[in-house]
Chain A
Amino acid sequence: MHFSTSAANDVTVLRIEGELDAVSVTDIRASLNTIAEGKPARVEVDLSALRLIDSSGVGAIVSLFKAVRAYGGSLTTTGVRGQPLAIFRLLRLDRVLIA
């Protein structure tokens, strides 16, 4: 799993590639906390290169979503497809997280 963040004009873009699962989620948690602590108005999570997500990965994204929403920000995901999209649809996250 690889991820990167960029910020401009009070928008933070988080791009996650590869697999976000029980093995890799520990690598990203600190960065997710840092994003939320910065309180950007908008957070965009680019998942166009995410191949696989499990319940642990979902938990991490939902946790970030709640943290951003708590201070009045917005979080959306983009490029969700394949297996991650199947997971999002099952958990009804497509209604909440997908722009």
Chain B
Amino acid sequence: MSGTINFTRMKGCIIVRLEVPGVIQYRDIMLRTLSATCKLISPGARARSSRASLFSAHLVSAVGEAYNNIALHGYVGREPGTIRMEIEQGSDWIRVVLADTGASFDPAGARPPDLDALPESGLGVFIMQSFVDEVTYVPGPPNTLTLFKRLDEPREASPSSRRRGPAQRV
């Protein structure tokens, strides 16, 4: 097995692409890369460090749950493919696209958990949806899941709002 990572800068945005084998053991590499990218959010935002920390915590949590779903469920019972992640980082927003060739699962179809019952499972999709501003899923192959999160209230139309419909394919 092997993985790749590449980094480009385009039109003021930083784009990081990473591809790893679709098994749970590579989750940490993905999330550490994402966490490091979150720190590149504009210096002005860094001054509001608690907000930036919360932004990172939420996004890492959401992507972590998405990764779990692919590795633990999407590829179960079949030859594991890869998980490709593209992180697009703007001045105060980050878009993460995950692509896989496992079984399709649209998170919009998941039932929300009954939190009062203290559930021990079935929380991943709820965490993912709760911690980002937009979730878009396009079944494949490849399946593509797009998570978009902004740091502050939008000063202008967000890139995701200009990209309704099919998520970006990586």
Residue numbers in B under 8 Å from A87 (CB-CB): 61, 127
State the interface size on chain B (CB cutoff 8 A): 27
Q: Which of A4-12, A17-25, A42-50 contacts B (4 or more CB under 8 A)?
A: A17-25
Secondary structure of the B contact surface, majority rule: helix
Q: What is the CB-to-nearest-CB distance from A75 to chain B, in angstroms, rounded to a whole number?
A: 12
A-B contact count (CB 8 A): 65
Q: What is the CB-to-nearest-CB distance from B20 to chain A, in angstroms, rounded to a whole number?
A: 13
Task: Check if A54 sits within 8 Å of B28, measured CB to CB.
Answer: no
Task: Check if A21 sits within 8 Å of B54, measured CB to CB.
Answer: no
Residue numbers in B under 8 Å from A21 (CB-CB): 27, 64, 68
Given contacts A22-B27, A90-B130, A91-B115, contact A55 B65 (CB under 8 A): yes
Given contacts A22-B68, A54-B65, contact A59 B28 (CB under 8 A): no
Docked CA distance A48–B13 (Å): 36
Q: What is the CB-to-nearest-CB distance from A97 to chain B, in angstroms, rounded to a whole number?
A: 9
B16 at interface, CB cutoff 8 A = no
B72 at interface, CB cutoff 8 A = yes
Task: Check if B119 sits within 8 Å of A54, measured CB to CB.
Answer: no
Task: Check if A59 sits within 8 Å of B68, measured CB to CB.
Answer: no
B118 at interface, CB cutoff 8 A = yes
B60 at interface, CB cutoff 8 A = yes
State the interface size on chain A (CB cutoff 8 A): 24
B123 at interface, CB cutoff 8 A = yes
Q: Mark B51-62, 1 if CB is under 8 A from A, else 0.
A: 001100110110
A–B Cβ pairs within 8 angstroms, 13 of them: A21-B27, A23-B25, A54-B61, A54-B65, A55-B65, A55-B123, A58-B123, A62-B118, A82-B57, A83-B60, A86-B131, A90-B130, A96-B118
Q: Chain B: residues with CB nearer than 8 A to chain A?
A: 24-25, 27-28, 31, 53-54, 57-58, 60-61, 64-65, 68, 71-72, 115-116, 118-121, 123-124, 127, 130-131
